[in-house]
Chains A and B, each alone.
Chain A
Amino acid sequence: MTLPPPPKPDQPRFVPIADHAVLVEFGETISDAAHAAVLALDQAIAAAPPVGLRETVPAYVNLLVDFDPCQTDHAEIIAALRRQIGPATARRQSRQQHKVAVCYDPPFAPDLAQVAQHTGLSPEAVIAAHLSGRYHVVMYGFAPGYAYLAGLPPALRLDRKPTPVPNVPAGSVIIAGAQALVTTLTMPTGWWIIGRSATPILTGDPDRPFLFDVGDSVGFCRIGAGDMPGAAQNG
């Protein structure tokens, strides 16, 4: 059996899934071009949803398109999507920029010293490097509100810990590989915990329950322990 050629950003592969979805693949390995194509198609669909569309799920190199099988089918959806795929740059819209406030002080940054040791930087240099990153939201996953932020500076890139640490508090700012993430639940993680966010990602606002959209830009700014929520009560 010969395999079909790998998909490309301008020549995606459409894979039917079950009775209700199509996976549009723009590449097999992570690349900026493939992700830009994912975001462009996601936006095009939002602007002009095909009949029967239920939702879309963007990831690194592919976009899941979920539909109501009582209203349409795989072939109709694929035909509609083919018409919406165009030059990625033509539709690039201004995306939102967000600032996330982070406290890097004890007790909120339990792994800062270890990250400094592994990277050969001072703790202050680790913080400066983290603050200098220009991040963007690649996708959500793992748990509600877990937004994967690409753009961690190369100096901070470490493999995950060999064993996950349990009960890492919600709001932890964690890093691994080329990514950063602000947690929303108390969960185990094998990523390195370098701070705590004062900016909730689950906003509690019914009109905008999640702070970020996929594709948005994110920057971090530093605050002291005294500026953390609840600091006054905790003394």
Chain B
Amino acid sequence: MAEARLSVAFAGPHVTVQDQGRPGQMRFGVPCSGPMDRASAAIAQAALGTPATAPLIEVSMGGLTLRCDAGPISLAIAGAGFIVEAREKLGSWVVLTLHAGDRLVIRPGPWGRWTYVAFAGDLQVPHWLNSAATHAISGFGGGRISTGQSLTLTAPRVVTHMPRPIPCPVWARPRGRAPVVIGPQDRHFTDQALADFVSGPFRMTNAFDRMGLRLAGPRLALKGALSIPSEPILRGSVQVSGDGVATVLMADHQTTGGYPKIATVLDCDTDALSQLRPQDPFHFVPVSPDTAVARARMAHRARAAFLARLRHQTGASPTPG
């Protein structure tokens, strides 16, 4: 049966295989993993008409260069505003087809930190606990993409002969506001720290990985030297270390830890937050739990409607590759 093969001519750091992750295992020390920006990854899948659960590649600002050794195969690129070169210079947010001999270069462009490459074919990668999502620290799952590696895709398809843009919804862009619910350990912070947390501003730094994003901004003082029992952590937890520095925990977060959490970013807002670049400023905006739930429902409806439209437009008539 037909197979497409791509070799990795170059892969920067933090380039990994992801899928929707492995939810439900936090009690065993296993975070969900999956894309840093899940919304953009879902858009790439919808633009190709591939299953939302299919493995794809998360590309960091380190970039990725692929050479097509056997094709053709279509792929979709969505996420950060990166530069894509494949025979011609394109933007990300594009569906295109690679033929044998083609070279695909993805490198940072005007905005964003993470972009996604979905394939119209089945990427052959290892799974762990029913998911190909790479848990970066252990390497479990589909794994890190490294220079020199070869990727095999079974059942390759062609869905377009000319590069075709994917519309980029406004909610997939990074924003200067990160809605949070204060707590659960806000009682350990001084009133001044709580006021400073809200007034900000904070900036992203170069200290980041799939576990978390360390921030620059006001030092957040604790009321005293503390030793709190280790507590559960979530994607979006804003934990503060003893020196008053805040870190937002992300896709590969530890599941428990002893640093107090001053606030938690709404889950539906962590995707856009992950796209802020080092030095980009932003504010935490406290909302009530009820507002948070209303916002989550609104975000879910907007995303579901957008994805359904995209899948409908993509149509269900791919031609065999």
Which A residues are within 8 Å of any B CB, using their own CB? Answer: 1, 3, 15-21, 23, 25, 28-30, 54-64, 66, 69-70, 73-75, 139-148, 185, 187, 206, 209-210, 214
Contacts and interface: CB of A to CB of B under 8 A. Distances in A.
| Most B C-beta atoms less than 10 A away, residue of A21, A66, A69, A139 | A69
Contact of B255 (A18, A57, A60, A75): A57
Chain B interface extent, by class: 35 or more
B198 interface: no
Contact of B234 (A25, A66, A185): A66
Contacts of B234: 17-18, 20-21, 64, 66
Given A18-B292, A74-B289, A141-B255, A23 B184 contact: yes
Interface string B255-278: 111000000111110000000000
A70 B129 CA distance: 26
A56 B25 CA distance: 9
A15 B184 contact: yes
B293 A73 contact: yes
Contacts of A3: 187
Interface of B: 23-30, 129-130, 135, 137-138, 140, 180-181, 183-184, 187, 191, 228-232, 234, 236, 254-257, 264-268, 289-290, 292-293, 295-297, 300
11 contacts: A16-B289, A18-B292, A55-B23, A62-B231, A70-B296, A73-B289, A73-B293, A139-B256, A140-B27, A144-B25, A144-B29
Of A25, A63, A141, A148, chain B has the most CB atoms within 10 Å of the CB of: A141
A56 B234 CA distance: 12
Given A144-B28, A148-B230, 18 more contacts: A16-B181, A17-B184, A18-B267, A28-B228, A59-B230, A59-B231, A59-B256, A66-B234, A74-B293, A75-B290, A140-B29, A141-B230, A142-B256, A143-B254, A145-B30, A185-B138, A209-B28, A214-B27
Contacts of B297: 69-70
Contacts of A56: 27
B107 to A, nearest CB: 32
B138 A143 contact: yes
B93 to A, nearest CB: 27
A19 B266 contact: yes
